[in-house]
Amino acid sequence: MVDKVVILGSTGSIGRQSVEVCRRLGIKAAALTTNKNIGLLMEQIKVLRPEYVSAFDKDASERLRAELEGTGVTVGPPGEAGLIEAASLEGADCVVTAVSGAVGLRPTLAAIEAKKRIALANKETLVCAGTVVMRRARETGAEIVPVDSEHSAIFQCLSGRAGELRRILLTGSGGPFRGWSREQTAGVTPEQAVKHPNWSMGAKISVDSATMMNKGLEFIEAMHLFSARPEDIEVLIHPESVVHSAVELVDGTVIAQLGVPDMALPIQYALTWPERCESASARLDMTALSGLHFLKPDYEKLPCLALAMDCAKRGGTAPAVLSAANEAAVALFLARRLGYNEIYDCVAAALGSIDFIAEPSLEDILAADTAARAFVRERIS
């Protein structure tokens, strides 16, 4: 089990659950960070007593500094600098990356340089720069343990089975609009899109789950985490969200990980691995299940998934453009400045217009990310 963690994005959905898991297991916190939610951060400071905190937002950072004056808690700078300082703090042995979006990239790299275990929730980091991130992790020896439920499942299924993998079976519920046509999804509102049938999550990933872009991002995440080729991964629609994913081994054996849909479990496993311990999660009652269903995705009705899988095959800067354009488009959709179907339209247009680099450096990836965001903003204005 890890001893002392840094939680980047402690006030979000994964962050809040990480704080609770740490409190229950007696894991200490070196640092917590937020974007703007100072109220909740102050509550969390009372619970985990970190020595360092930061807020990304400038005004929030000033308020935080005023709140903590004289308490001995160090308040780091706003922006990326505060995240990077937190991620590299001496004394912590693990960084939970629970921020949403590509803002997690540089802090994750900083944590890898400092040889921390990465409990990785922030999938956008691997999508945009998985090759660079995994290479540096191999070189420094930093452990990357997935928090995303599917990847935690695959990680658990593969434990002790190096070299035996034939195929990854990546499951996804299909989201709230499973089976809907483009005509039917045209009027979908942010309120409808963030209401996931099985999981309670942050706004961005909830929209991604509705469009199934999330499964596409996870497809790319799985390629990097498990050194898999696109042809080694099959996406399966599994509406019940009980089988969190499975692996097929060389002899045809299939091993799956099952459980209730509760992110506290994969968060806890990333912190206790390679051990396991008691959890507070509900138990799975197999006799209460009415059935488990697995369907091939209808790619015509899931264009974001198809687009992401195409980017996975193209590699280079394509996944970075996909992820950044999607982030920008989803933010505009949540702000009611873009229709639901236009999320796909924006991302596809960005991919069609931004120069492709096959073997990008980190700088090329960051430039592609910036260009994709600018493209989406200009298209809308």
Toward ligand NDP, which CB reaches closer, 76 or 248?
A: 76
- Choosing from 148, 208, 221, 248, the residue that interacts with Mg ion (CB under 5 A) is 148
Least Å from the CB of residue 100 to ligand NDP: 4
Instruction: Indicate which single residue of 88, 122, 279, 317 sits in contact with ligand NDP (rule: CB under 6 A).
Output: 122
The distance of Cα 108 from the centroid of its chain, to the nearest Å, equals 12
Number of residues in contact with Mg ion under rule CB under 5 A: 3
Which residue number, 205 or 354, has a Cβ lying nearer to ligand NDP? 205
Residue nearest to Mg ion (CB): 148
In 3D space, the residue among 209, 179, 199, 181 whose CA is nearest the CA of residue 341 turns out to be 181
SS3 185: helix
DSSP labels, 113-125:
HTT-EEEE--HHH
For the bound state, the minimum distance from the C-beta of residue 333 to Mg ion, rounded and expressed in Å, comes to 20
CA–CA separation, 342 and 70 (whole Å): 49
Q: How far is residue 70's CA from residue 16's CA, in Å, rounded to a whole number?
A: 26
Question: Considering only CA atoms, which of 4, 49, 52, 51 is closest in space to residue 27?
Answer: 4
Q: How far apart are the first and last CA of the chain?
A: 49
Residues 6 or more apart in contact with residue 350 via CB below 8 angstroms: 321, 322, 324, 325, 372, 375, 376
Return the DSSP state at 224.
H
Q: Which is nearer to Mg ion, 150 or 262 (CB)?
A: 150
Scanning 111-119, 162-170, 195-203, 233-241 for contacts with ligand NDP by CB under 6 A, the matching segment is 195-203
* Window of 64-72, 177-185, 186-194, 200-208 that interacts with ligand NDP by CB under 6 A: 200-208
> DSSP characters for 161-177?
-TT-EEEEEEEE---TT
Where would I find the H helices in the chain? Answer: 13-25, 38-48, 58-68, 80-87, 105-113, 123-140, 149-158, 182-185, 190-193, 203-211, 213-225, 264-272, 303-314, 318-334, 341-353, 362-380
Shortest separation between residue 150's beta carbon and Mg ion, angstroms: 5
Q: How far is the CB of 315 from ligand NDP (least distance, A)?
A: 21
Nearest distance from residue 78's CB to ligand NDP, in Å? 9
Rounded CA separation 207/213 (Å): 8
Site for ligand NDP in 59-118 (CB under 6 A): 83, 98-100, 103
Does an H or E element contain 256, and which? strand 254-258
Residues numbered 109-128 forming contacts with Mg ion, rule: CB under 5 A: none
x/- track of binding to ligand NDP for residues 148-187 (CB under 6 A): x---------------------------------------
Report the candidate in 375, 249, 228 with the shortest Cα–Cα distance to residue 313.
228
Nearer to ligand NDP, 14 or 128 (CB): 14
Tokens of 341: 């179907």
- Which of the listed partners (ligand NDP, Mg ion, none) does 99 bind, with a CB threshold of 5 to 8 Å by partner kind? ligand NDP
Q: Which stretch binds ligand NDP (CB under 6 A): 110-118, 180-188, 203-211, 274-282?
A: 203-211
Give the closest residue to 88 by CA, choosing from 80, 26, 139: 80
Per-residue binder mask for ligand NDP (CB under 6 A), 34-63, x = binder: xxxx------------------x-------
326 binds ligand NDP (CB under 6 A): no
CB of 273 to ligand NDP, least distance (A): 17
Q: Which stretch binds Mg ion (CB under 5 A): 9-17, 31-39, 149-157, 243-251?
A: 149-157
Binding site for Mg ion (CB under 5 A): 148-150
Binding site for ligand NDP (CB under 6 A): 9-15, 34-37, 56, 83, 98-100, 103, 121-124, 148, 199, 201-205, 263
